[in-house]
Amino acid sequence: MKHLEFEKGPSPHNETELAELRRRIGELEASDGEFKQAVDDLRESEGRLHQILESTPVPTLVIDADHQVTHWNRACENLTGIPSDRMVGGRDPWRAFYTEKRPILADIIVDGRADSDMARYYETYHRLNLIEDAYEAEGFYPNLGPDGKWLYFTAAPLMDGEGRRIGAIETVHDITDRKRSEEKINRLNADLAKSVEEIKASMALLRRTQGQLVESEKMALLGRLVGGVAHEVNTPVGVAVTAASLLGEKTQECRDRLAGNRLKRSDLREYLVLADESTDIVLANLRRAAEFIQSFKQVAVDQVSGEKRSFHLREYILDMVASLRPKLKNTDHTVTVHCDDDLALYSYPGVFSQIISNFIVNSLVHGFEETTAGEMVIEAEKEGDELVFRYSDNGKGIEPDKIDHIFEPFFTTRRGRGGDGLGLHIVHNLTAQRLGGSIVCDSAPGRGATFTIRVPMTPPPIATAPHQEQDDP
């Protein structure tokens, strides 16, 4: 009988296989450990991510590539009133914001359809520059809360290590308070703009009305001058008419006597003496009236035309004062003029006429309200390239609290008693806008008023003066 003999210990071939098997088992055990560690790390990472999302005060949700909600944090619950256990795992996050099914911003980002769908579902949206393919949008959601809410959304894609889109994260901000504040501000701005337009229209109407009133005041002043001139001319013209009438009667008597052969030498002599006297009376009075009319005519033409021309200031002032003589009649008021005879200007005589007229009328109406024996002084002199024109009276003066307002339109201390508040306003505008100068007033109660005007010897062109149309004569 033959016995088989076995080697003691494993064969080399078997030992190699066993070693390889052991190595592979070790690798599997190591890989399993690494896998378990990776799983643990992943779970830990997901836990940290979940904790971050839960802790953030910004409502945040996450969906995966299949549009399934994976995260719905507490802030999202508080905003929408929907708990996370009703949203996580589902594919209908739209129910939190809309009454009908439609994609939310994260859905559009996951599908990569922003270019085609953003305009379809959002009226207001923009691409964000900091993250590729990220967008922002906003809108009003009437189904949220009793009065609806304004929401602002941002969404960005989530990518894996190989650049594949695996989901999207979306944040939601309640901007209701901000939008309502903006709406309130917009309403206030609209109301303000409307008010500004109304104010502009009112100001334009006021300027037109003011211009019309100023023109009316100028015409009224001219009318008063015309009335005064008519009254003043009436006396010499009346005397001349009386003398001419008497001469006519005596001439008829002389003609009748001559026709009846009853004309005596003495009658002819008396007639000739009467004719000489009547002729002298007629000529003297008509000459007086003509001179007065001529001076008034120049003043009136200057006021109406407003043209620039050369004139001697003293002579013109005297003519202006003469045209106002009817207003001084039956009073003891006096006007004194201090001005060199040879002081000549190339300026607007009509402007000086209106200034002087308003000054004198202002003194008569306000300054001499309590006296019939006032003194008015007009002074003019050249200082360098300027003309210094000074008007003063010894009237009752101006109260300190009123002196800063005397040049304002419609300011008057005689409201309802014939004062319209435009006289000194016209003077100020004419001085500043037509003559390119300045005017100041020095006054105190009981010591009259002094107005000092400084203007260039040659005034600027009218076109350079603003709002000229309001105050041109």
List the CATH number of the domain containing 283.
3.30.565.10
In a domain, 263, yes or no: yes
Quick one: residue 133, left, alpha or beta (phi over 0 = left, psi -120 to 50 = alpha)?
A: left
CA distances from 283 to 118, 243, 288 (A): 101, 10, 8
Nearest to 472 by CA among 385, 354, 392, 384: 354
Whether 161 and 213 map to the same domain: the answer is: no
pLDDT tens for each residue of the chain, 473 residues long: 444 444 455 555 567 777 777 777 777 766 666 667 666 666 666 667 767 778 788 999 999 999 999 999 999 999 888 999 999 999 999 999 998 999 999 999 999 988 889 999 998 899 998 888 899 999 998 888 888 899 999 999 999 888 899 999 999 999 999 989 988 999 989 988 888 888 888 888 877 776 676 666 666 666 655 665 666 667 777 777 887 888 888 888 888 888 888 878 887 888 888 888 888 888 877 877 776 666 555 555 555 556 788 899 999 898 888 877 777 777 889 999 999 999 999 988 888 888 998 899 889 888 888 888 899 999 999 999 899 999 999 999 988 888 888 888 767 766 545 455 677 888 888 898 889 999 999 999 988 999 999 999 888 775 443 343 333 33
Q: Is 77 helix (H, G, I), strand (E, B) or coil?
A: helix
| Domain count for the chain | 2
Whether 331 and 212 map to the same domain: the answer is: yes
- Its domain, for residue 165, covers 56-174
Whether 159 and 242 map to the same domain: the answer is: no
Distance CA 15, CA 135 (A): 64
Whether 345 and 433 map to the same domain: the answer is: yes
Concatenate the DSSP letters of all residues of 355-374 into one string: HHHHHHHHIIIIITTT-S--
In a domain, 220, yes or no: yes
Beta bridge partners of 69: 63
Distance CA 217, CA 157 (A): 78
pLDDT of residue 325: 77
User: Hey, how many other C-beta atoms are within 10 angstroms of the C-beta on 459?
Assistant: 21
User: Hey, how many other C-beta atoms are within 10 angstroms of the C-beta on 94?
Assistant: 14
Whether 159 and 250 map to the same domain: the answer is: no
Distance CA 200, CA 184 (A): 24
pLDDT of residue 471: 39
Concatenate the DSSP letters of all residues of 5-74 into one string: ---SS--HHHHHHHHHHHHHHHHHHHHHHHHHHHHHHHHHHHHHHHHHHHH-SS-EEEEETT--EEEE-H
pLDDT of residue 349: 86
In a domain, 44, yes or no: no
In a domain, 136, yes or no: yes
Q: Which of 174, 195, 221 is the last residue of a domain?
A: 174
Whether 115 and 235 map to the same domain: the answer is: no
Instruction: Name the CA radius of gyration of the chain, rounded.
Output: 53
Q: Which of 151, 174, 197 is the last residue of a domain?
A: 174
Evaluate whether 428 touches 469 at the Cβ level (below 8 Å).
no
Q: Which of 155, 174, 193 is the last residue of a domain?
A: 174
Whether 214 and 319 map to the same domain: the answer is: yes
In a domain, 329, yes or no: yes
- CATH code for position 122: 3.30.450.20
pLDDT of residue 358: 87
Whether 437 and 342 map to the same domain: the answer is: yes
Question: Which tokens is 460 given?
Answer: 């600027």
- Residues 414, 416, 417, 422, CA torsion sign: positive
pLDDT of residue 393: 94
In a domain, 31, yes or no: no
Distance CA 330, CA 383 (A): 37
pTM reported for the whole predicted model: 0.45
Whether 110 and 155 map to the same domain: the answer is: yes
Beta bridge partners of 152: 138, 173
Distance CA 40, CA 471 (A): 92
Tell me, what DSSP letter sits at residue 3?
A: P
pLDDT of residue 296: 59
Evaluate whether 59 touches 173 at the Cβ level (below 8 Å).
yes
pLDDT of residue 224: 58
- Residues 402, 407, 410, 416, CA torsion sign: positive
User: Hey, how many other C-beta atoms are within 10 angstroms of the C-beta on 234?
Assistant: 13
Question: Which tokens is 284 given?
Answer: 């003297």
Evaluate whether 59 touches 76 at the Cβ level (below 8 Å).
yes
Phi/psi of residue 152, each to 5°?
-120, 125
Question: Which tokens is 401 given?
Answer: 């609290």
Residue holding tokens 């690798």? Answer: 27
Evaluate whether 165 touches 158 at the Cβ level (below 8 Å).
yes
Concatenate the DSSP letters of all residues of 107-124 into one string: HHHHHT-HHHHHHHH-SE
In a domain, 392, yes or no: yes
pLDDT of residue 108: 93
Whether 280 and 323 map to the same domain: the answer is: yes
pLDDT of residue 425: 83
In a domain, 181, yes or no: no
pLDDT of residue 278: 80
Whether 103 and 229 map to the same domain: the answer is: no
Q: Is 406 helix (H, G, I), strand (E, B) or coil?
A: coil
Whether 220 and 354 map to the same domain: the answer is: yes
